[in-house]
Amino acid sequence: MKPNSESGSKRVKTVAGAGQGTIGKSSGNKEMLESCGIKLTRQRLDLLEQLKKADGPITAEQLFLNLREEAAAISLSTVYRILDAFELKGLVEKVVSADENKAIYELNRHEHGHHLICTQCKVRMTITGCPLAGYEEALARSTNYRITGHRLEVYGLCPKCQSELGML
């Protein structure tokens, strides 16, 4: 996919300021960023808004495309940079999936959870709660490692794909 090669916009220079009044669509965002110590920017507000709309795991490029559809001026590199910044401040969680070669981002719910991924249609749902509660301590004892975290992805067939595949 070559996301830059659509929507004829070449240089945005003079056009770039097009959204001065647009700042703060959903007003919580402004405070949200400020409380994280993140400088306010039209792009950052737009991206945050978009993350909320997505309401779930989403890829950097999809965020970029969604923003473009709404005529929000932003570049793909900026999307990546902002996502990095957000992650650093704990605003978003970045997940590197094993079966896709791209990173997935989602607003940090601040509750530990994992993804359940349909191997057919690739939808992911976030499952909260974690089966590894006691396990880490046991592992620490048996290995002498100091356990600091883990990553778990569960794969399966979602109900829809199960029926579409004829309950094989």
Q: Please give the residue ranges that form the binding site for DNA (CB under 7 A).
A: 1-2, 4, 9-14, 16-17, 20, 38-44, 59-61, 73-78, 80-82, 84-85, 101-103
Judge whether 152 and 132 are in contact, CB under 8 Å.
yes
H helix runs in 36-132, sequence order: 42-54, 60-69, 76-88
Please select the residue that binds a copy of itself; options are 56, 61, 116, 126, rule is CB under 8 A.
116
Number of residues that bind a copy of itself (CB under 8 A): 35
The contacts found for 160-163 with CB under 8 angstroms, 24 or more apart, are 160/121, 161/118, 161/120, 161/121
Contacts of a copy of itself in 29-68 (CB under 8 A): none
Q: Give min distance, CB of 37 to DNA, in A.
A: 9
Q: Is 151 in the site for a copy of itself (CB under 8 A)?
A: yes
The answer to the question of residue 128 lying near a copy of itself (CB under 8 A) is no
Residue 7 interacts with, from DNA, a copy of itself, none (CB under 5-8 Å by kind): none
Q: Which residues pair with 115 in a beta bridge?
A: 126, 153
Q: Say which DSSP state 98 is in.
A: S
